[in-house]
Amino acid sequence: MTQPLLSIRGLTKRFATGGGWFARPRDMTAVRNVDLTVERGDVVGIVGESGCGKSTLARLIMRLIEPTEGDVALDGISLGSLDQRALQAARRRMTMVFQDPYSSLDPRLTIAESIAEPFRIQSRAVSHEEIGRILESVSLPASTAKRHPHHLSGGQRQRVGIARALALNPDLVILDEPTASLDVSIQAQIIELLASLRNRLGLTYLFISHDLGLVRYFCNRIVVMYLGSVVEVLSDPKAKPRHPYTRALMDSSFAPDPSLRRTIAPLSGEIPSPFNLPAGCAFAARCNRVTEACRSKRPNLELLEDGHAVACVHPL
């Protein structure tokens, strides 16, 4: 039996924050008991509002930060069990593309130098021709190599960010809001590029976004997070959401066509403080289906039907 590319079990990250002369540090749980299996070739979307733990989950998967509990395994091998050298090798199979191509590229370096950097870290030489080919693979002219980031548009810079991430042939690419800072038309071109690269190179994507509409369009599986926990998993992105939070996200998500944009925000009520989560469902304070049962016990993620799981006492 082949192993899934990525398997995540009980992954939890607590941060101790604050503290000082008069205040004791307090624990907040940024990611809580997350289980997730990603098969080769999957495009898994991770959606949720700002602060729900998406980037923390990404950093845990890359093991840029240590989990408080739980584990991440790549091809069935636990990252926690690896020594530094083996961990570096595992990390090279995973890569990240960030939202802001301005800050992920060093302004002092030419594009050629930026693309050569991952090779240099591995003591590998890379020729001009190879850099030209890498640029052409993201539909940039080879002449871009001589330029500096400030000469490029936001979309061109993100293409460089993608080229750089793919330079060392990773298996898993974590895209953390890769189009969030771009105009809608440029956003569509980058999504198209990512889709074609995935087909051509057989990549697996974890696509982080707060835009459920975009995730439903681009991904073949969706994981919805709320205040650190997974509240719904949809194996069919077009399936009807069963969690009231996913439903609300869907109603408030922008239509891709600007003329169809709705800005109604059905999500009302305060997000509870992550320092002081209620005992029951974390969404209870904002949910229009709430009952007493919701407030007493946090619902677990339960499988409803094949590939569709929801953590809700009263699913839709």
Which residues, other chains included, contact 249 with Cβ-Cβ below 8 Å and sequence gap of 6+?
Answer: 47, 48, 49, 212, 224, 241, 267
Nearest to 305 by CA among 219, 260, 240, 209: 240
Is residue 55 within the footprint of ligand ATP (CB under 6 A)? yes
Given candidates 10, 17, 183, 307, which one binds ligand ATP under the rule CB under 6 A? 17
Site string for ligand ATP, 26-45 (x = CB under 6 A): ----x---------------
**Residue 145 neighbours by CB distance under 10 Å:** 20
Q: Which residues, 206 to 235, sit near ligand ATP by CB under 6 A?
A: 210
Partner from ligand ATP, Mg ion, none binding residue 291, C-beta < 5-8 Å depending on class = none
Decide if residue 274 touches ligand ATP (CB under 6 A).
yes
Q: How far apart are CA 111 and CA 128, in angstroms?
A: 11
Q: Is 50 in the site for ligand ATP (CB under 6 A)?
A: yes
55 binds Mg ion (CB under 5 A): yes
Choose the binding region for ligand ATP from 51-59, 100-108, 127-135, 142-150 (rule: CB under 6 A): 51-59
Among 10, 19, 25, 51, binds ligand ATP (CB under 6 A): 51
Stretch that binds ligand ATP, among 52-60, 71-79, 114-122, 165-173 (CB under 6 A): 52-60
Name the E strands within the chain.
6-17, 26-38, 43-47, 69-74, 77-78, 94-97, 172-176, 204-209, 221-226, 229-234, 302-305, 308-310
* Placement of tokens 């904002």 in the chain: 286
- As a whole number of angstroms, the distance between CA 196 and CA 72 comes to 28
Residue 25 binding ligand ATP, by CB under 6 A: no
Q: Is 95 in the site for Mg ion (CB under 5 A)?
A: no
- Which residues, at least 6 apart from 170, have a Cβ–Cβ distance to it below 8 Å? 92, 93, 94, 95, 203
Q: How many residues bind Mg ion (CB under 5 A)?
A: 1
**Residue 23, class by beta-carbon neighbours within 10 Å (0-12 exposed, 13-18 middle, 19+ buried)?**
exposed
Is residue 99 a contact residue for Mg ion (CB under 5 A)?
no
Identify what 243 binds: Mg ion, ligand ATP, none; CB under 5 to 8 Å per kind: none
Contact between 300 and ligand ATP by CB under 6 A: the answer reads no
| Comparison of 55 and 204: residue with beta carbon closer to Mg ion | 55
Read off the amino acid at residue 57.
Answer: L
Q: Which of 4, 53, 70, 132 binds ligand ATP (CB under 6 A)?
A: 53
Could you please report the per-residue DSSP string of 126-173? Answer: --HHHHHHHHHHTT--GGGGGS-GGGS-HHHHHHHHHHHHHTT--SEE
Partner that binds at residue 274, options ligand ATP, Mg ion, none, CB closer than 5 to 8 Å by kind: ligand ATP
Is there binding between residue 56 and ligand ATP (CB under 6 A)?
yes
Residue 270 has what DSSP assignment?
Answer: P
By CB under 6 A, tell whether 15 contacts ligand ATP. Answer: yes
Residues that bind Mg ion (CB under 5 A): 55
